Amino acid sequence: MRRSGRAIASAAALLALAWALVACGGARDALAAVPAAREAGAVTPPATATVLASAESALAAAPPTAESTATAEPAVPAAAAAVPPASVGAASRDARQAQLAQPPPATGAPTVVIDPGHGADEVGAAAFGVVEKQSNLELAFRVERLLSAQGVRVVLTRRDDVRAFSGPAIAGFSAQRRDLQARVDLANDERAAVFVSLHSNGSTSGAERGAEVYYNSARAHSDANRTLAQLLLDGVIAEVRAAGFDAISRGAKDDSCLRAFQGRCFPLFLLGPERVTTRDEVLRRGGNPEALGFAPDQDAIRSRATQMPAALMELFFVSNEQDAALLRSDAVREAMARGVARGVLDFLAASPR
């Protein structure tokens, strides 16, 4: 559901009404916009306009039901929460896209997968001149540059405004699930030492601000997941503050039961353990079972989880004017990239190989 403030002349009224929420299963990540506030004098123009497109133009092309890759799975009906059936197949596996090809790693060089969240029709959060899917990718390139300079082999899950999966175009729940699985599969295929997903937060409340990092304690590498998340958060907060800017830490958070429904816990797909999804559940969510790898006689599919320490970063709130100003600043963006790279390097240095 999206509300618009185009017809309201007052800048204050525009800011009060501009926040909007796209259905994301009740999680924080939301699609927010300030369509005309800049013209009314309520929003400062972006400092890095060549990097980040306006939120208004991105939202004009965004479907009103885009889901967030950063959120937990939406709650499902009780029928879908039953004991998985015996006939369980594997989730669809996509071939590597040519744009993701990377040079062979140097001897002994660790591989780090950086995942710029969202892409294509999935915009993420957008407000105050910041469009999350673009911000995530631009920051990933900065992190790639810094880590590569330290001898780390870096692989990005996307290098353009695209979904991570290949094959015929699909939409909705099927596209979201297949996109996330493709990102996980890429990291596993690359035998990555670390997986870091980059996002920024959004909220229906413009008051929420700060950076936070999620990890999962209910899967393999639980201690390492927690350590990685804390090092990433510490690195970003320290680097942004060292650059002379205010940075609020919201902490490193366990997502193993980010959302609970009828006795089931729903973590972030990218961080959680393998999960079984029934045909009925896919249909109830408007998805296409065949597009997700269901054979005609299969009742369910099993996803594949990341096989290395992983964390998902929420780098400030796009929906908060002060945080958005940080995200528009080239100096802060470089500091955030240094913080991410610092966290990864500290983790690699402390991890036996």
Q: What percent of the chain has pLDDT over 70?
A: 70
Residue 266 CB-density burial (10 A; 0-12 exposed, 13-18 middle, 19+ buried): buried
Span 263-317, pLDDT tens digits: 677 789 999 999 899 999 999 999 999 999 899 989 999 999 999 999 999 999 9
Better-predicted residue by pLDDT, 214 or 32: 214
Residue type at 129? G
In sequence order, what E strands does 43-98 have?
A: 88-90
Please state, in angstroms and as integers, the Cα–Cα distance from residue 250 to each residue in 32, 69, 154, 272, 324, following that order. 21, 20, 27, 21, 16
**Residue 58 clears pLDDT 50, i.e. is over it:** no
Assess whether pLDDT exceeds 70 at residue 28.
no
Phi and psi, residue 98, nearest 5°: -60, -35
Q: Which helix (H) or strand (E) holds 249?
A: strand 249-254
Report the distance separating Cα 232 and Cα 289, nearest Å: 37
Largest CA distance in the chain: 61
Mean pLDDT of 185-209: 95
Q: Is the dihedral of CA 229, 149, 46, 245 positive or negative?
A: positive
Share of the chain above pLDDT 90, in %: 59
Given this model, what pLDDT does residue 233 score?
A: 98
- pLDDT at position 7 is 35
Can you give the pTM of this predicted structure?
0.77
Q: What mean pLDDT comes out for the span 33-46? A: 34
> Which of 8-12, 75-79, 282-286 reaches the highest mean pLDDT?
282-286
Mean pLDDT over all residues of the chain?
78
190 neighbors 113 (Cβ within 8 angstroms): yes
Examine the pLDDT at 143 and tell me if it is beyond 70: yes
pLDDT tops 90 at residue 71: no
228 pLDDT higher than 80: yes
CATH no. for 109-121+132-350:
3.40.630.40
* Per-residue pLDDT, 266: 78
| Mean pLDDT on 210-239 | 96
What six digits make up the tokens of 248?
């609020």
Instruction: Give the position of tokens 């939409």.
Output: 171
Q: What is the DSSP string of 12-38?
A: HHHHHH-------TT-S------TTTT
Tokens (6 digits) for 191: 């035998």
- Reference 192, options 169, 221, 223, 216; nearest CA is 221
Which tokens hold the place of 230?
A: 């804390």
Looking at per-residue pLDDT, the higher value among 141 and 77 belongs to: 141
pLDDT of 31 higher than 60: no
Residue 13 has pLDDT above 80, yes or no: no
Q: What is the mean predicted confidence (pLDDT) over 31-41?
A: 34
State mean pLDDT over 221-234. Answer: 96
Arithmetic mean of pLDDT, 197-211: 96
Q: Where are the domains of the chain?
A: 109-121+132-350
- Residue for token digits 């990718």? 137
When mean pLDDT is compared across 99-108, 167-176, 283-292, the lowest value belongs to 99-108
Distance CA 101, CA 132 (A): 24
Element (H, E) at 337: helix 330-350
**pLDDT value at residue 17:** 33
153-156 and 111-116 as β-strands: parallel, antiparallel, unpaired?
Answer: parallel
- Confidence check: pLDDT of 57 > 50: no
| Section 336-346 average pLDDT | 98
Rounded Cα gap, residues 70 and 183, in angstroms = 13
Q: Is 46 helix (H, G, I), strand (E, B) or coil?
A: coil
Q: What is the mean pLDDT of residues 249-269?
A: 83
CA distance 134 to 242: 25
| Contact predicate 226/252, CB 8 Å | yes
- Helices 330-350, 132-148: axis angle to 10 degrees equals 50
pLDDT of residue 104: 55
Q: Quick one: how far is CA 288 from the chain centroid?
A: 23
**C-alpha–C-alpha distance, residues 334 and 241, integer Å:** 12
Distance CA 312, CA 268 (A): 9
What lies within 8 Å, CB to CB, of 178 at 6+ separation is 91, 92, 94, 163, 165, 170, 291, 292
